[in-house]
Amino acid sequence: MTYTGYLELEASERYGKSVLSDAYYNGVFKISRPTYTEEGLPLVQLIHVGGGYVDGDTYFTQINVKKNAKLAVTTQASTKVYKTPNKQVEQRIVYKLDEQSELHIKQDPLIAYRDARFLQETDVYMDKSAVFFLTDIVTPGWSKEGDLFPYTLVSSKVKVYQNDKLTVYDHLRLKPQDDVSKLFYLEGNTHIGSLFFIHPNVTDEWIEELRKHLSSFDEVHYGVSLLAVPGCCFRILAKRTSLIEKVFGAIEAFIHRTIDNQGAISWRK
């Protein structure tokens, strides 16, 4: 199959240092030259040179993090999905984490414009000793008619396999014709953020402390669930992207302060 964008990355540990050991990309996908954060993580930016996702586009990304390696990945800009009159945009993402590895993914928002249809499937295969962090934001694009939700469909599935056993299944499905702004959908909000964090040290007590830490954020609605494995999933509803990003930042800072005893990752964005 020929993809509109294809990307494979691999991070390995060499002489006590994490490095980007392999990279291949084709089509509209490219990556930045790796830099190192203050925490010693190799940081890579994913770049889409096509300007946006359009009718019938297909994308594939796979990131492998080998034993004892760490990697931080972010995007250069928002992902814009335009009109898809004939066929939806499809994106498949695979993350593989070996023993004692860490993968931190921080994505810019997905912006879905009028008549856009976007389907994404993310599969995470990880060892039970690995650490996984992922953020995702969905926002409606501008519409000259002033519609709050001009897109047709946004579907995002996340599956996490730990030691080859399916342990997490999450499906975010937004279909505006169902009036997602009403109660039990977005409750009048327009933007939705998701955050997954899987770490051996996550407990009920830790999540309760995090809830207390977030109690001052009264401009957003959020919920947190403990997963079937040590980890949690956050869902955040707001009227602006910046509000979700602010909460994400607070969660990330809390994670690194309480678990890693250090500051949050310096994403340089």
pLDDT above 70 coverage of the chain, percent: 96
What pLDDT band is residue 184 in, cutting at 50, 70 and 90? very low
Q: Is residue 124 part of a domain?
A: yes
**Among residues 43, 54, 73, 60, which one has the least CA distance to residue 7?**
60
Measured between alpha carbons, how far is 145 from 89 in angstroms, rounded to an integer?
Answer: 23
Measured between alpha carbons, how far is 7 from 28 in angstroms, rounded to an integer?
Answer: 9
pLDDT above 90 coverage of the chain, percent: 81
How does the average pLDDT of the chain come out, rounded?
Answer: 93
Per-residue model confidence as pLDDT tens digits over 85-128: 999 999 999 999 999 999 999 999 999 999 999 999 999 999 99
Phi, psi (degrees; rounded to nearest 5) at 262: -155, 175
* pLDDT exceeds cutoff 90 at 238: yes
The pLDDT, as a whole number, for residue 179 is: 62
Q: Is residue 65 part of a domain?
A: yes
Q: Is residue 226 part of a domain?
A: no
Domain count, the chain: 1
Q: Is residue 51 part of a domain?
A: yes
Per-residue model confidence as pLDDT tens digits over 60-70: 999 999 999 99
What pLDDT band is residue 265 in, cutting at 50, 70 and 90? confident
Q: Is residue 159 part of a domain?
A: yes
The pLDDT, as a whole number, for residue 188 is: 78
Largest CA distance in the chain: 58
Q: Is residue 230 part of a domain?
A: no
Which range marks the domain in which residue 179 is found?
Answer: 5-191
Pairing of strands 89-97, 191-198: unpaired
Q: What tokens appear for 169 in the block?
A: 């299944």
Coil, strand or helix at 128: coil
Q: What residue ranges in the chain does DSSP mark as E strands?
A: 5-14, 17-27, 29-31, 35-36, 42-48, 58-65, 70-75, 79-81, 89-97, 102-106, 110-112, 117-126, 131-140, 153-162, 165-174, 191-198, 221-226, 231-238
Q: Is the pTM of this model over 0.75?
A: yes
Angle between helices 241-255 and 204-213 (to 10 degrees): 130
**Among residues 73, 85, 168, 155, which one has the least CA distance to residue 120?**
155
Q: Is residue 228 part of a domain?
A: no
